[in-house]
């Protein structure tokens, strides 16, 4: 869209006036011919649409194709849809013949034959309304004295994780002040929802204690500053996905549970109960 010339006197190519006029002309053409028109746009470094907001208001559907340079996965995310639900996602993998849909992303990000090692926790997150299992990986190592303790995150909110580490130090007596803490979401995904809080805490504590979590266990929940485990949205949907994929145990916040689950559900009220349930006390 930013390379089109809609009018000779409309300013520079890619400018606000040219982009707005080009989008308006294409919209009128599509409506006049009763046809579907796809507009492909640049995005800014911040991941936003590169152009005037009037273009986003003009179209019926706006989707973003997101990915990382290091990984081969692409996520197609809907942020506007006049004819359906928003924040739905589809996951694709770049192969030799182009993009191929990943029909069950949960099994892609969390293989069932993964080794049992300290510092890994499986968390069911929501991408739109679609449950997706991801693995939170943590490495807690002694600081060697070459500088202040390191805190490095990939795919997680940095400031949020710092708060979670402080809660763990206060409520669990976890001595993290003299350690380096590294955290990542496997597969290069970015997770921003609060349901991942308890999974981050479990992964860090598992690495600190050098005790692995059971590979058939998942954990999710929001942590408050007081260390309470709070309910998260669509918990029954997450549990049904976990049950369908064969996991046997889930450590979750208090709340209503769906019927017909075959897995053991352990509801915990605070981070101390969660640590005990995961045998990380």
Per-residue pLDDT of the chain (281 residues; tens, 9 = 90+): 888 888 777 678 888 888 888 899 999 999 999 999 999 988 887 777 887 888 888 888 888 887 766 667 788 888 888 888 776 778 888 888 888 888 777 777 776 667 788 999 999 998 767 788 999 999 999 988 788 899 999 989 999 999 999 999 999 999 998 999 999 998 778 888 999 999 999 999 999 999 999 989 999 999 999 999 999 999 999 999 899 888 999 999 999 988 888 999 999 999 999 999 999 98
Distance between terminal CA atoms of the chain? 56
H/E element, 80: strand 73-81
CA–CA distance, 14 with 6 (Å, rounded to integer): 10
- How many Cβ atoms are within 10 Å of 62's Cβ, its own excluded? 19
Beta strand ranges found along 162-216 (DSSP E): 179-185
Element (H, E) at 226: none
What is the model's pLDDT at position 10? 65
Three-state SS across 11-79? CCCCCHHHHHHHHHHHHHHHHHHCCCCCCCCCECCCCCECCCHHHHHHCCEEEEEEECCCCCEEEEEEE
Q: Which residues contact 240 (CB under 8 A, 6 or more apart)?
A: 131, 258, 261
Tell me, what's the pLDDT at 94?
A: 84
Q: How far is CA 247 from CA 124, 239, 269, in A?
A: 11, 10, 22
How many C-beta neighbours within 10 Å does residue 144 have?
7
Contacts of residues 222-227 at CB distance under 8 Å and 24 or more positions apart, as own/partner, are 222/194, 222/195, 222/197, 222/198, 222/253, 223/164, 223/167, 223/194, 223/197, 223/198, 223/271, 225/163, 225/167, 226/171, 226/270, 227/167, 227/170, 227/171, 227/270, 227/271, 227/272
pTM confidence score: 0.74
Q: Which residue has the tokens 């986003």?
A: 56
Q: All domains of the chain, ordered by start, with CATH? A: 16-102 (no CATH), 108-277 (3.30.230.10)
């Amino acid at each position: 869209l930013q390379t089109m010339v809609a009018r000779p006197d409309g300013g520079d190519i890619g400018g606000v006036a040219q982009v707005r006029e080009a989008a308006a002309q294409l919209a009128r053409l599509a409506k006049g011919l009763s046809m579907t028109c796809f507009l492909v746009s640049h995005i800014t470094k911040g991941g936003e649409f590169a152009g005037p907001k009037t273009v986003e208001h003009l179209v019926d559907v706006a989707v973003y194709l997101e990915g990382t340079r290091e990984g081969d996965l692409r996520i197609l995310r809907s942020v506007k849809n006049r004819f359906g639900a928003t924040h739905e996602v589809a996951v694709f993998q770049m192969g030799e013949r182009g993009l191929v849909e990943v029909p069950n992303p949960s099994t892609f990000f969390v293989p069932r034959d993964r080794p049992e090692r300290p510092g890994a926790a499986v968390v069911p997150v929501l991408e739109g309304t679609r449950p997706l299992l991801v693995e939170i990986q943590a490495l807690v190592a002694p600081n060697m004295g070459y500088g202040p303790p390191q805190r490095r995150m990939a795919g997680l909110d940095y400031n949020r994780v710092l708060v979670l580490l402080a809660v763990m130090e206060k409520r669990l007596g976890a001595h993290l002040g003299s350690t380096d803490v590294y955290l990542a979401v496997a597969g290069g995904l970015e997770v921003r929802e609060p349901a991942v809080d308890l999974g981050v805490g479990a992964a860090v504590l598992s690495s600190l204690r050098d005790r692995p979590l059971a590979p058939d266990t998942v954990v999710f929940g929001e942590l408050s500053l007081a260390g309470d485990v709070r309910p998260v949205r669509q918990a029954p949907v997450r549990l049904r996905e976990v049950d369908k994929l064969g996991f046997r145990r889930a450590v979750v916040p208090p709340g209503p549970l769906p019927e017909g689950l075959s897995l053991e559900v352990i509801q915990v009220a605070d981070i101390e109960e969660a640590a005990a349930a995961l045998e990380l006390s």
